[in-house]
Structure 1
Amino acid sequence: MPGLHRLPRTASLPFYDDPLQSETIPIRPAIPLELILLCHAATRAMKTGRFPIGDEPAEHDARSQLAPLRARGNARVIASPARVARETAAWIADAFDIVPAFDDIDYGRWRGHSIRETGEREPEQVAAWLADPHARAHGGESVAMLAARVAEGLALIDRLKGCERCIVVTHAIVVKVALAQALGKPLTSVYAMNLAPLSTTVLERATSV
């Protein structure tokens, strides 16, 4: 099924990912809007297996890889408030909007800590968080809470006037949640999805008149 990946279900965390080819998923046929969800560039935290804290810079300048997206000059660009997302957005647009609804999930007290060490220190809490979209073992956001604000962000985009293409620079977990919603899948399905830095997922949505 588009957007889902046949990988073994393991205790991997939803933002720490492998490559995925772009997918186009039709949502509604009327007044089409091409919504491109772009995962931000790789960070040092991702490479070293740490929970992000939000102010990590891109590890490498990848603007040359994003040249095809920059060429789409008629697109409206939106970015997560996270530093790496803003840096990535600046590689494809001279101006862009920042929308908090597309920010990374808040990992609470796990922010900045090693994923492996957290799993060893709090195995039950990590297992609960991976099994239950409503769990908040870290004291931050649950996946269900993230899904609620992502839905609000997508609804905002659907209300844009005169916009035929929108690029949202965001985080892998945000894209996964958006895919689960688009496909009508349970939120637990995000743990079986894998997205690479700079990968794109395309949704065909419909804007209001």
Structure 2
Amino acid sequence: MKAGRFPVGDEAAARDESILLAPLRARHGTRVLTSPARVARQTAEWITDAFEIVPAFDDIDYGRWRGLSLREAGEREPEQVAAWLADPQAHPHGGESIEMLAARVAGGLAFIDRLNPCERCIVVTHALVVKVALAHALGMPLQSVYGMDFAPLSSTVLKRASPADAWSA
């Protein structure tokens, strides 16, 4: 959505941001997981030489709104856009609802839980996926994602000592 359009999934990074991401460069013992989206894979390449693609962290499927701006989608389908922006169960575009995305992301977090608990993990993904992961990990209602805002290329840290412990941000 950084470009003001619903992504189609094969967008390239707008420019090389490797210098900006240098502080995140993966250290020894850090596992890097990424969305299958091209922009996420490119970003992962800026922080590591080896990463693993995890489909659970892919962006939401925007269905028939892919490639449209929010304004275009709103002009064509105002009631459907309003429903999607208010209800985590709505998926009027024919793609995924926020709730469906949340179930997928929960599976991705469960995958991380099965990793070595001492291993540091970086997930390169999309803003909406981060919002849903935060809501899930912190036990917040899914409706809370509508009030979250993240800058492109920002980082969010989730921690816990073991899968039995609660997450903290």
State the TM bucket, normalised to the shorter chain. Answer: over 0.9
Give the Cα separation in 2 of the matches to 1:140 and 1:171.
Answer: 16
Corresponding position of 1:160: 115
Conserved 8 A contact 2:57-2:105: yes
Unaligned residue ranges in structure 2 (runs of 5+): 165-169
Corresponding position of 1:87: 42
Q: 1:71 to 1:108 in 2, by over 3 A?
A: closer
Give 1:208 deviation, angstroms. 5.4
Corresponding position of 1:186: 141
> Is 1:125 the counterpart of 2:80 in the alignment?
yes
Unaligned residue ranges in structure 1 (runs of 5+): 1-15, 17-45
Written as runs of structure 1 = structure 2, the 5 A alignment for 1:167-178 is 167-178=122-133
Corresponding position of 2:11: 56
Corresponding position of 1:197: 152
Written as runs of structure 1 = structure 2, the 5 A alignment for 1:11-22 is 16=1
TM-score with structure 2 setting the length: 0.92
Give the Cα separation in 2 of the matches to 1:73 and 1:161.
Answer: 14
Corresponding position of 1:96: 51
Corresponding position of 1:148: 103
Corresponding position of 1:28: none
Corresponding position of 1:134: 89
Letter matched to residue 130 of structure 1: L
Give 1:203 deviation, angstroms. 0.5
TM-score with structure 1 setting the length: 0.75
Conserved 8 A contact 2:26-2:32: no
Give the Cα separation in 2 of the matches to 1:139 and 1:194.
Answer: 25
Give 1:131 deviation, angstroms. 1.1
CA RMSD, 1 decimal: 1.5
Give 1:162 deviation, angstroms. 5.5
Partner-residue secondary structure (3-state), 1:77: strand
Q: Which has the higher contact order (CA 8 A, sep 6+)?
A: 1
Give the Cα separation in 2 of the matches to 1:126 and 1:160.
Answer: 38
Bigger fraction of residues in strand: 1
* 1:111 paired residue among 44, 66, 80: 66
Q: For this pair of structures, how many residues does the alignment match?
A: 164
Give 1:163 deviation, angstroms. 4.1
Letter matched to residue 102 of structure 1: F
Give the Cα separation in 1 of the matches to 2:44 and 2:118.
Answer: 18
